[in-house]
Amino acid sequence: MKMQDPAVTGNMPSASPVLTWNSPLTGGMPIHFGKGAIDLLPDLLLGLKPDRVFILSDQHVFSLHGASLLQLLSPHFAPEILLIAEGEGEKKMSNLEFLCNQLFERGITKSSVVVNFGGGVVLNIGGLAASLVYRGVRFVQVPTTLMAQSDVIVSNKQGINFAGGKNRLGVFSTPVAALADSRYCATEPLRHLRAAAVEYCKNAILLGGAHYEEALRFFSVKETFSEAQLERLLVNSLAQKFEIARLDPKEKSLGLMLEYGHTVGHALEWLSQGRLLHGEAVYHGMNVAGQLAHHLGIMPVEELKKQSLLLSRLRGIPPIPNDISVGQILTSVQRDNKKVGKGMAFILMKAVGQVNMPQDARGVSPAQNESVLTPVCEFQLNKVLLEYWDALL
C-alpha cells in the first residue's frame, strides 16, 4: 500500500507543510492537515463571504484554544461563540435544541458559516445543527483531538446519541472543509491520544501490508507522543483512510470495514457511560471480533496472533468496567445500526489485511461482492464474550 496519495499535495511552502486531500468519502471536500492547518481558516472564511461566523465548541476546548482562534480571526471576523459542556454525554437532543435555538436567536442566516471547533462530540452535534438550520448552512470542521482529526472528519456523518444508542439520529452532510492542525493534540491527555491510536491500529489491521508493518514499528517503543510523532500519526492515519477511500469512495461496501470492532465497541462505549473512551471500547471490540472470527473458523490462529501482537503494543487501555455484563452487551448489540433483520452482523477478518466477505464461499469474487458483513448468531457471540470476560478477570 502506498503511504502517499497522488491527490495529496503540499500547499504551503513552509517548513511544516500543510497537506490537502480532497476526500471522495466526503464528496471531494478538502481536508487540510498537519502543523499549521488552522492558519488557513481566515482565508477560507473570507472566500466564503459569510454575513456571520458562529463558533460551536465545548467549554474545555474553548478555554484551552479559544483565545488563539479568536485572535487568528480578529482582523476579519467577530464570531458568535456557542458553547456546550464537554463529553460524550453532551451529544444529546437537548444540546442540539440548545444550539439550534441559539443560532436563530443570534441571527444566523443562510449566508452564515458555522465553525465546529472541538473533538468528535462537537463536530458531530455541531455538524448536525448546521445541517438542520434552514435545511443546511455551510460549516467548517476544526477537529482538536487526534480522534476527530484522523477519523471523524473523514466521513460526513453528523449526529447525536438518542433513545439508548449511539449516533441514532443524524444525517450525511458535507462540510465546506476540514482543518486538522496536529498542534492542538499536544494538549490532549495521554489517555485520549492512546485511545485515538486504536483507530490507527484498526486500520492497519484492515489494510495489512505496509500499513501493518508501519504501525508495529510506530508502537514498538512509544510511551508518549512527541509533537513530531503526533504529526506522523495523523498523516499515517489519514493515509490509511485514503487507501480505504480509494477502494470504496461511497463507504457503502468495503468502506464499511472501517466499523471493524465497532459492533461490540459501540455497545461498550454506550454501557460504560463515558468510563471507556471510543477507541478503548473499539480495542475490546476488535479483540472480541478477532476471537469470534477464529471461533467461526474464519480467522486462523496465526492471523489472530498477528492482530493481537499489534493490539498488545497499545499501552494503558483500561479493562471493561466490571459492572457491565455479557447480557447487557448482547442487548445493546441488537441495537447496532449494522443489524440486519433479527440477526447480528459483524465485520470479521480472515487475516490481517483481508476482510471476510461472506459470499466468498459461494464462489462470488470479492470484486463482485459488496457485503463485508458476516451474520453472527447470538449464542456464538455469547460464547466468545463469556470467554473474553473470563480472560479479563
Ligand X SMILES: NC(=O)c1ccc[n+]([C@@H]2O[C@H](COP(=O)([O-])OP(=O)(O)OC[C@H]3O[C@@H](n4cnc5c(N)ncnc54)[C@H](O)[C@@H]3O)[C@@H](O)[C@H]2O)c1
Mind telling me the catalytic residues? 157, 259
Of all helices (H) and strands (E), which one includes residue 354? strand 354-355
Residue that the C-alpha cell 483500561 belongs to: 318
Compute the distance between CA of residue 393 and CA of residue 388 in angstroms, rounded to an integer.
Answer: 9
- The single residue among 53, 152, 204, 205 that binds ligand X, judged by CB under 6 A, is 152
- The single residue among 30, 50, 118, 353 that binds ligand X, judged by CB under 6 A, is 118
Residues 272-331 that bind ligand X (CB under 6 A): 278
Q: Which range touches ligand X (CB under 6 A), out of 18-26, 43-51, 146-154, 200-208?
A: 146-154
Radius of gyration of the chain (CA): 21
CA atoms within 13 A on the CB side of 78: 1
- For residue 366, give the nearest of 261, 270, 247, 262 by alpha carbon: 247
Q: Pick the closer one to ligand X by CB: 50 or 184.
A: 184
Binding mask of the shown chain, residues 155 to 194, with x at each position contacting ligand X by CB under 6 A: x-x--------xx----------------xx-xx---x--
255 lines the binding site for ligand X (CB under 6 A): no
Torsion sign over Cα 293, 296, 298, 300? positive
Smallest distance from ligand X to CB 258, Å: 8
Residue-wise burial string across 294-309, b where 16 or more C-beta atoms lie within 10 A, e elsewhere: bbbebbeeebbebbee
Phi, psi dihedrals of residue 17, rounded to the nearest 5°: -65, 140
Binding mask of the shown chain, residues 46 to 85, with x at each position contacting ligand X by CB under 6 A: ------------x-xx--x---------------------
Q: Which range touches ligand X (CB under 6 A), out of 28-36, 144-152, 324-332, 351-359?
A: 144-152
Smallest distance from ligand X to CB 354, Å: 23
119 lines the binding site for ligand X (CB under 6 A): yes
CB 290 within 8 A of CB 356: no
219 lines the binding site for ligand X (CB under 6 A): no
Residue 165 CA to its chain's centroid (Å) = 17
Phi, psi dihedrals of residue 84, rounded to the nearest 5°: -115, 170
- The single residue among 145, 182, 237, 307 that binds ligand X, judged by CB under 6 A, is 145
Q: Pick the closer one to ligand X by CB: 41 or 304.
A: 41
Q: Which range touches ligand X (CB under 6 A), out of 2-10, 70-78, 120-128, 204-212?
A: 120-128
Q: Pick the closer one to ligand X by CB: 79 or 127.
A: 127
Q: Pick the closer one to ligand X by CB: 95 or 291.
A: 95
Q: Pick the closer one to ligand X by CB: 149 or 356.
A: 149
- Torsion angle, CA of 280/339/288/251, rounded to 10 degrees? -60
Smallest distance from ligand X to CB 333, Å: 16
SS3 336: coil
Residue-wise burial string across 62-97, b where 16 or more C-beta atoms lie within 10 A, e elsewhere: beebbeebeeebeeebebbbbbbebebebbbeebbe
- The single residue among 91, 202, 294, 306 that binds ligand X, judged by CB under 6 A, is 91
Residues engaged in binding ligand X (CB under 6 A): 58, 60-61, 64, 86-88, 91, 118-122, 124, 144-145, 147-148, 151-152, 155, 157, 166-167, 184-185, 187-188, 192, 278
